[in-house]
């Protein structure tokens, strides 16, 4: 840019608050704009966030009827490399796509994973991704853990990205998972409503902490085996490691969870213990799969629903469990 050119105008985003929020403004905006809370805090400090005509603090709690205006500076251009990485795209149109992410693929570049991610793969496959999330997370509306497989929606256009992020925050996007957890849950169907935040002693882990953000998971047992349950889970919120942390809190971590349930099966004894060891071996990875995704298309208004079958080796492990461990 030479001296005669002026910087591009910031983008004005206007959001209406439908009901009193239990969350602070920085958390409320983080969910709806798919920005980190630290990024929102910078916008607030720079005076780019207003309620009505008034600048507010990040600790402000939005009230029903508030109109929140956010001036977003133009994002810096991405320097991410497009990489030829195989990824399954199950749906694509002009403004979004749905991918079926394999286990082991990191969603976006981060410290320790500068390349070889889903974003790098999509930059190679697509003509564009939304600029929201730049420079490292373009197009990423919601994320899956590296070890979790399954369905994700990715935005190509900024308007679609914001509409989808707002629907996720308003709990209008359906996200269903299949999982196998150790032991036997006490009920067939229930919900876990416990707040999640950073672990107080290990910042790489999440935990149920009273100072965390609300996290709500709906759980239904599909099948009961010798030493594990097959579960259908539905997310009402989308906190980091939410399903994994909630099941650990119940004392029934996910089969082969390397962070929250490593070696859990070794504590089981007798025939059930031997069965559990074999299930863990056959599963080979975290037994968590995003099997269902449903959302309203931000342009057509049509509700789209996608399903994904259990991939290998989880599918074979489940077949073995059905043959050997039904209860």
85-103 per-position pLDDT tens digit? 999 999 999 999 999 999 9
pLDDT at 317: 98
The string of pLDDT tens digits covering residues 22-66 is: 788 888 888 787 677 778 888 888 888 999 888 888 889 999 888
On whether the CB atoms of residues 108 and 137 are closer than 8 A, the answer is yes
What does the pLDDT read at residue 122? 96
Region of residue 275 (phi > 0: left; psi between -120 and 50: alpha; otherwise: beta)? alpha
pLDDT of 8: 56
pLDDT by residue for the chain (327 residues), tens digit each?
334 444 456 778 888 888 788 788 888 888 787 677 778 888 888 888 999 888 888 889 999 888 998 887 766 655 789 999 999 999 999 999 999 999 999 998 877 778 899 999 999 998 889 988 777 889 999 999 999 999 999 999 999 999 999 899 888 999 999 999 999 999 999 999 999 998 988 878 999 999 888 899 999 999 999 999 999 999 999 899 999 999 999 999 999 999 999 888 877 777 788 999 999 999 999 999 999 999 999 999 999 999 999 999 999 999 999 999 887
pLDDT of residue 113: 78
Question: Of 31, 145, 229, 257, which is the active-site residue?
Answer: 145
Across the strands, what pairs with 16?
Answer: 67
* pTM score, whole prediction: 0.82
Catalytic (active site) residue 145: yes
Integer Cα distance of 228 and 291 in angstroms: 19
Nearest to 161 by CA among 137, 196, 184, 195: 137
Between CA 145 and CA 233 the distance in angstroms is 16
Q: Which two tokens stand for residue 286?
A: 């975290």
Q: pLDDT at position 179, please?
A: 98
Residue 126 to residue 135: CA distance in whole angstroms: 17
The predicted structure's pLDDT at residue 13: 82
Q: Return the pLDDT at 74.
A: 67
């Amino acid at each position: 840019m030479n001296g005669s050119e002026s910087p591009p105008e910031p983008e004005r985003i206007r959001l209406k608050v439908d009901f009193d929020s239990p969350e602070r403004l920085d958390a409320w905006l983080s969910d709806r704009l798919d920005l980190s809370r630290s990024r929102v805090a910078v916008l607030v400090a720079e005076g780019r966030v207003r309620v009505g005509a008034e600048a507010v603090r990040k600790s402000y709690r939005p009230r029903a009827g508030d109109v929140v205006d956010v001036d977003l500076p133009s994002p810096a251009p991405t320097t991410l490399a497009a990489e030829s990485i195989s990824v399954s795209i199950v749906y694509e149109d002009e403004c979004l796509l749905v991918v079926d992410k394999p286990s082991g693929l990191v969603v976006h570049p981060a410290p320790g994973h500068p390349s070889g991610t889903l974003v790098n793969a999509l930059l190679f496959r697509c003509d564009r991704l939304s600029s929201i999330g730049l420079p490292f997370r373009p197009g990423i509306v919601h994320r899956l853990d590296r070890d979790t497989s399954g369905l994700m929606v990715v935005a190509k256009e900024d308007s679609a990205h914001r509409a989808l992020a707002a629907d996720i925050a308003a709990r209008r996007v359906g996200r269903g998972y299949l999982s196998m957890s150790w032991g036997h849950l006490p009920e067939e169907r229930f919900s876990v409503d416990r707040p999640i935040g950073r672990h107080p002693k290990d910042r790489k882990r999440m935990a149920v902490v009273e100072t965390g953000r609300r996290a709500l998971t709906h759980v239904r047992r599909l099948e009961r085996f010798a030493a594990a349950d097959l579960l259908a889970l539905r997310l009402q919120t989308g906190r980091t490691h939410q399903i994994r942390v909630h099941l650990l809190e119940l004392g029934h971590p996910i089969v082969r969870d390397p962070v929250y349930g490593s070696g859990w099966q070794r504590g089981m004894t007798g025939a059930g213990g031997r069965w559990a060891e074999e299930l863990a071996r056959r599963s080979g990875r975290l037994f968590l799969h995003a099997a269902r995704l449903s959302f309203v298309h931000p342009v057509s208004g049509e509700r789209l629903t996608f399903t994904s079958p259990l991939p290998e080796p989880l599918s074979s492990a489940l077949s073995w469990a059905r043959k050997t461990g039904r209860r």
